[in-house]
Amino acid sequence: MAVPGKIYNDKGLIMEALGQVKGVVNDMEDDITKLNKMKEDLLTQFQGDGASGYDEVARDLDRRLRAYEQSIRNLDRSTNNAADMIGSADQDVARMFRNLL
């Protein structure tokens, strides 16, 4: 199991940690979907005179959700890049060893 704050040089541990991050990212994406649904449900329920006050709150919530969603996409992209770098490093090391033979 990965230990927070520790730097790994074992590929298996690195891939395990990346897998855990990917799982968290997937859960966060599910949360965004649920939050967007809740926001839409609230907009539907708030009608009449009270709705005008909620519009501003809904716009702020929407802005924050979009920023949160973007940060999740950035985290996912970084995780994928890290996994790609590990794969590339493995291939580079394998090529170096083949060249030695």
Q: pLDDT tens digits, the chain, 101 residues: what are they?
A: 555 666 556 777 777 888 888 899 999 999 999 988 988 887 777 776 666 777 788 788 889 999 999 999 998 888 888 877 776 666 666 677 777 76
Give the CA angle between residues 86, 89, 93 to the nearest 5°: 140
3-state DSSP helix/strand/coil percent for the chain, to nearest 5? Answer: 85, 0, 15
pTM for this prediction: 0.63
